[in-house]
Amino acid sequence: MQFQGRVWTVASFAEGRAGLVGEDGALTAVLLSLLFADTDFEVLGEVQAAAIPPLGLLESLPDAVRERALAWERHVREVETGFPDAGDAAGEPRAQYDPRTRTLTQREEAKAAELSAAGRPASAVTVRRMRARYRREGVWGLVDHRSTRPHTHEGRVDERVVAAVREVLEAGRERSDGTLERLRTYTERLLAERHGQGVVALPSRTVFNRLVHALADGRGLLGSARQRRWRSARPAPPFLPTAVMAPGELVMMDSTLLDVLVVLDDGVVERPELTIALDVATRSICAAVVRPKGTRSADAAQLLAQMMVPAPLQPAWPQALAMEQSVIPYRRLLSVDARLEGAAARPVITPQTVVVDQGSVFVSSSFIAACQSLGISLQPAPPGNAPAKGQVERTFSSIKTLFVQHVAGYTGAHTGERGKHPKGEAVWTLRQLADMFQEWIICGWQSRAHEALRHPMMPQRSLSPNEMWAALVAVCGYVPVPLGCDDYIELMPVRRQKINDYGIRFDYRTYDHTVLNPYRGERSPAADGLWEIHYDPHAPGQIWVRLPDAGRRAGYRFEAVPWIHHTLVSEPFTDFAWQHIRATTARRGSRVQHEHELALALRELLERAAAGCGTHREKAVAARARTAHTAHAGGAVWGILYGRPPGTATPETPAQVHEAIEDEEVPAGEGAWGTRPSELTPADAGACATAPEDARLSAPRRPQVTVYDPVEESLRW
């Protein structure tokens, strides 16, 4: 034994003490309690306890090999103890194996003679070797390990060929699909570069193809280019599921082109782009925007607002889609948020964390600023890593099979699935498709059972997104988030600019108004001295400037500043159309003259497209401009959020909105129509300002939004 850095031999035990003899002959006595408590105490040469036989490994062996090992175990046990089985110890051993009369060497020789006589030649040395293996490894040491040697997929192929094939396969992850013959050619070239021409010969084509499949099949290196990219983008295993227990705890946003053709203005046929926000806890499609190709950051910011505002039931929708007709606890929620009156059966969820990809729309400064202003944590996924947001990717696949493939003008995922003339089948406009999709979300998705949604008390039953939200909102509660006119502007993209004598100029557009007079050439209160500008890429005809205002609670106000050429270009246009004009119009004069020429070129483009003239590209640009403007302006999107009917007039500036509201004689804390000014969009406020006096006085007032009290709610649910 080892004790206090020295090696001792235990000579005796007496009265709780151990007599020890050192290697140098020194004698000492130590209390057993002190001996066992010493950290340096160790028993040397301790016989290890017999290990449990590896039954799993034994079962994997061929029957003959396994039976041979078990037979050797009985022979070895009989040589050592005299009994082949542990249960025979009560009887008498055979004479030639009796440990009382025969030595171990004699017993080994007897066993060797017995095995040789039985037709299994063995020597005493073999028996001794098997005994040593049995002591070290148990039954597994008696196994013929020729049957346990690992089988390599490479066989007897030269290691240099194997290494070259591996390298070529790895280099082909991002390449287009090819044949095995191309792979063989690339491997032959690589071997010639590394080792010289003809030094390393390739095996036959049959052996080479078998080697390629052995190396590539398990790693997905022979699949399609799409499958290889998907596999290489996967995160490193193990894959752990994300546990989400509350609505809004994790929301995923993404965009995709729909496999359906829609008719834009002037008859242009094009595939639209869909952007959705999916709540992972309930699998609810909380918000969706259908746009012409080219989603902007303003569209993504609108999704955040759509999630937090009830969706009103449209007049053409059946009453069965109303929230009060669904499984959602409508009455309890209505007492907390009066905006739910007349709402459609779609959850109202405030996101806490939003997962997005590395697309320019979602990582833009304007979208990041919109998330920060709403207190939302933004989590970008790794580049090219679709599995990181697998729930929303799978939802897109479900939308294709459950909705898109049933729409006229369906194109299929690729040309192999495309019909003969899908353009001739396209009959729906973008607005009509967007309205149908919003209705399908409520009747076709939110009420449909989802296999991933299970209630702890009913694990065998799948729940629908609405049922899951109803179950979770009873536990997590519901906090209404009112959004107003200024919030709408806050969600727009942001720039920081100077206010010069000529106004504000960016992207070859100049904006000017008399409201800028006190601030021309002045520094803003911000540290960089620049003024905060908000603009709408779907309606570049005006911008909003944040100006200080000590008379308001927030300490600022937004002022709308029009484009100086807005009277020259009366047709609606978007930033997409403007960029097309900039790319096709050469600059021949000063900056001011060039801007005027751009405005003239834009007007001519829109007029030609309206008259059915111009190239196909110009028609598509103008059609996208009108379609996007129609879907964005006039309240088509924000009117859905706040229940304002399309076509309601809008004021020229937010200042007029506040002036119209402040002129009304209504109780403190409420604006016209019983709604607080902070809950109005610019279009809603314009409707209030332009409504007749009688209508404003007779319209019913809705109660204010109350604050959620978790203690009180726990007693009511």
- Which stretches of the chain drop beneath a pLDDT of 50? 47, 633-708
**H/E run at residue 72:** helix 63-81
Q: What pLDDT does 145 receive? A: 86
Q: Do the beta carbons of residue 161 and residue 204 sit within 8 Å?
A: no
SS3 state at 210: helix
Is 710 within a domain? no
Question: What is the structure's pLDDT at 636?
Answer: 37
- Per-residue pLDDT, 50: 52
Question: Which among 79, 113, 147 is the end of a domain?
Answer: 147
The residue from 581, 598, 626 where one domain ends is 626
Do 124 and 258 fall into the same domain?
A: no
On whether both 420 and 555 belong to a single domain, the answer is: no
pLDDT digits (tens, 9 = 90+) for 511-525: 999 999 999 989 998
| Angstrom distance (rounded) from CA 57 to CA 477 | 54
416 and 444, same domain (yes or no): yes
The predicted structure's pLDDT at residue 676? 34
DSSP 443: I
How far apart (Å, rounded) are the C-alpha atoms in residues 419 and 172? Answer: 32
Instruction: For residue 661, tell me if it sits in a domain.
Output: no
**Residue 282 CA to its chain's centroid (Å):** 15
Q: Does 218 fall in a domain?
A: yes
pLDDT for 716: 53
The bridge status of strand 353-356 relative to strand 251-257 is: parallel
Q: Are residues 142 and 172 in the same domain?
A: no
The DSSP code for 197 is T
Do the domain assignments include residue 667?
A: no
Nearest-CA neighbor of 517 among 532, 530, 504?
Answer: 504
User: What pLDDT, in 10s, does the model give residues 236-263?
Assistant: 777 777 788 899 999 999 999 999 998 8
The reply to whether 693 falls in a domain is no
Residue 69 shares a structural domain with residue 21 = no
Q: How many domains does the chain have?
A: 5
| Co-location of 107 and 213 in the same domain | no
Sign of CA dihedral 167, 169, 170, 171: positive
Verify that 411 and 281 share a domain, yes or no: yes
Bridge partners of residue 20, in order along the sequence? 10, 28
654 belongs to a structural domain: no
Q: Are residues 451 and 537 in the same domain?
A: no
305 shares its domain with 449:
yes
Say if residues 417 and 278 touch (Cβ distance below 8 Å): no
Domain limits for position 415: 250-319+340-476
Last-in-domain residue among 204, 233, 262: 233
One domain, residues 466 and 522: no
The pLDDT assigned to 86 comes to 66
Cα 130 from Cα 48, distance rounded (Å):
18
Are residues 406 and 505 both part of a single domain?
Answer: no
Q: What is the model's pLDDT at position 650?
A: 37
Residue 99 included in any domain: yes
Q: Quick one: pLDDT at residue 39?
A: 76
Residue 189 and residue 215 in one domain: yes
Residue 7, CA distances (Å) to 16, 25, 505 in order:
20, 11, 90
154 within some domain: no
* Rounded CA separation 674/701 (Å): 4
Q: What CATH number is associated with residue 266?
A: 3.30.420.10
